[in-house]
Structure 1
Amino acid sequence: MAKLEVTLHQLEARNLYGVWGKSNDKTIAKDIAHISQQYYQITKKEKGNVLPFFVLSKDYNPSTQDFALFVGSVANSNCLESAVLPQGLYAKITVKPKFGFLWGLAIGEAKRFFYTQWLPTSDYKALNLEYEHHTQASNGRLPAIDILFAVTEKTL
């Protein structure tokens, strides 16, 4: 993968609508597929036809490796659950795998880079909320997605 770069962005709050579930570091790929399938069944949309699309995780517990997982978009429906991306500061990494089937590896590499290399040497701490932001750029020959991590400045 290309060199990873972290940029900081102040973002407004954003309401999302989708499906919540529980996940774990060991089952995340299977859980995203299952929750995404639920989302597409409820919305009666085909996979890949919903943009922007979000995969959000929060409330990570390091001792159990469990967390809450949300899959959805900005389109409201009475049949969907809601989530709020809070206003605040976010660190962003754009992931560009060489092939679409390598998304999981590329995302895992970006998250490891963020938590083990960038974050410990930065002036910021993570707020236990991160999400993938899929847009039209996620499709095509040179796909790209943004991974955003809620952060705040460290206090002395």
Structure 2
Amino acid sequence: MVVGVTLARGDDAFVPATHAARPSVADVDTAAGMLYYCDVHRYEIVRQRLDGGAREVFAADGVDNCEGLAVDWMGRNLYWTDDSLGALSVARLDAPHRRALLRERSHPRALALDPANGVMYWAAWAPGRIESAAMDASRRRTLLDAELQLGPTG
């Protein structure tokens, strides 16, 4: 079960993700009424309708330890980070063919998008950085570079 809070009413909203073994991160495509989540036990990214129906594996090949996930509602893409593979990847929502935008050993984790300005932000555990780039991975820059006991996660 995935639990959220409806912003309009402020009450709990339950999405019956009954087949999830160990969901780690999730995001919602409100335009299509779809929930996307990473199942780190099954090594896959899953999508399903918000009512629990039409569950399908969105991506499994090349998914190991998905730590960040974000829907680009304007460009109709799904972005995710994979800590184990050291990758930040993207796929179209209508044709889930993965493309790795970045590959590195910095353990990319949390991910946030600003589609209106075409910018993505992510946290990397080693050496404790928060970075940004255009959503095609160009214009990459480090926003915070600090030696932390534990890297930033969100």
Which has the larger share of helix? 1
Larger relative CO (CA 8 A, sep 6+): 1 or 2?
1
Which has the larger share of strand? 2
Query: TM-score scaled to structure 2, two decimals?
Result: 0.27
